[in-house]
Structure 1
Amino acid sequence: MSSWSNSPPTEAPADHKEPVVYVVDDDESIRLALDGLLRSIGLRVETFESSQQFLAFPRRDVPSCLILDVRLRGESGLALQEQFEQSGVRMPIVFMTGHGDIAMTVKAMKAGAVDFLAKPFRDQDMLDAVATALARDGERLAAERSSAVLRAAYDSLTSREREVMGFVVAGLMNKQIAAELNLSEVTVKVHRGQVMKKLAARSVADLVRKSETLGIQLPRKSS
């Protein structure tokens, strides 16, 4: 099986920002049926007969999911799922199989599969599974983008502003922070205001939540 790089996916043109459903199945009739079903509700679909074809295809940075046959010609869909996990790829997977068993289903679901549908499946069951998968991936992308924006905002802070932020999050008042850093209270107030502005923090509680998201370690107060 080809290796999967965890490098950023190739961006699609600006007019292709809708969700994408990828289908990997070595049965052409299944690929065609799923392509028609998913396009009938307005989804963008890309189909492949092997995991190699899929892995070579540039992914789009939009909500997406993979409909994957658990038994492909000469390879295993579960092996591709394991490769996703090892490479840090978090695209939701909906498995389908005509030969599934309980152990296989349990393994797939424990590894994060959204659903495991036995062929022949009801169209509505597949549509429901895809809707769940796309919603989950959309939430993930939104969280990652929000985190990236927050990290960029934190990186824009000066070293002094980061020091002040650490003490604010630790619960110190301006007067205490001034003593810790040997600054005037006015200077601390200015730095604190810049921190709140740059991180778009609505309150100290909001700043604390954002510092937790950033994984900032609190400073030690002098004795």
Structure 2
Amino acid sequence: MKFLILIFCCFFAACAVSKNPLRKEIKQLQKGKIKDDTSFVYILPFENKKAHLIVQGYFGVFSHKERAALDFKMKRGTNILAVRDGVVTRVKEDGTKGGWSKKYSSQGNNIVIQHSDNSRSGYWHLQKDGALVKVGDTVRQGQIIGLSGKTGYAAIPHLHLIVWKSNSRGWQQIATRFQTSKGIKYLRPWKWYRNKETSFPGVSQPMETTGQ
């Protein structure tokens, strides 16, 4: 029922779109109008042979109005994979509550990973004690790092994924392209995506990590 209500609200709030200039750039990227794209290609944050629905895309009207983030619908306890190599800089896993109210925002369990180009990826709404890594761990792309949940500001169980990068203007959110079963794509809302059949080092079992 909550999932249907979410769809209803997103549909009728469509007029309340973000005026962030990045939104226009993302639309052009999604349509393939920017040809000289050399940005990093990420993997999807879930295992091979699994498909997940994007329930909210970049600058979505529900809770992403000013956020270049993606929401993947996931059942509680789904394995979450690192989309890129990096070092864990933040872990929160003591949150116990979640729901369709901003009063739960501080409860959102999350993992943040820093990458070699100084960008960071954040994974939100993990279940309590759902982090399988700790601060300082080095992780590999495709490694299982956590378990999805519904902690924090979340109407339904899902994974909230966001990537941001530091530049002269400070930390800026960025759109990311992914390797999917149908090629390299910028993901769109209300579409299902599946990982390309690839061998990831951390899929079968969590990698042994080392502190930095």
- What TM-score comes out, normalization by structure 2 length? 0.24
Higher strand content, 1 or 2: 2
Q: Which has the larger radius of gyration?
A: 1
- Structure number with the bigger relative contact order (C-alpha 8 A, sep ≥ 6) is 2
